[in-house]
Amino acid sequence: MPIVLRLDRVMADRKMSLNELSARVGIANVNLSKLKTGKVSAIRFSTLEAICKVLECQPGDILEYEPETKE
């Protein structure tokens, strides 16, 4: 998939654990873990907004487009 989630990188930059982000955003650890590992196919704007607010970042810091290469 050409959209890559970089939540783990932003969390590391902010020195924030999954448990702390989960508590501050109000989203279950399991759901944040899936986001962190990129094992989701969609994210609600309200969730993205909450994460960006807590991490003080922009959506583009978390979402990245990587075009598929043809082999």
In a domain, 70, yes or no: no
Q: In the prediction, which pLDDT does 1 show?
A: 64
The one-letter code for the residue type at 47 is: T
Per-residue tokens: 50: 């909450």
Which pTM does this prediction carry?
A: 0.87
Position 71 in a domain: no
Q: Which two tokens stand for residue 5?
A: 């989630």
DSSP string of 33-55? HHHHHT--S---HHHHHHHHHHH
Render pLDDT for 42-69 as a digit per residue (tens, 0 to 9): 999 999 999 999 999 999 999 999 888 8
CATH of the domain at 32: 1.10.260.40
pLDDT in tens, 9-44: 999 999 999 999 999 999 999 999 999 888 988 999
Number of domains forming the structure of the chain: 1
**Residue 6, beta-bridge partner list:** none
Q: How confident is the model at residue 5 (pLDDT cuts 50, 70, 90)?
A: very high
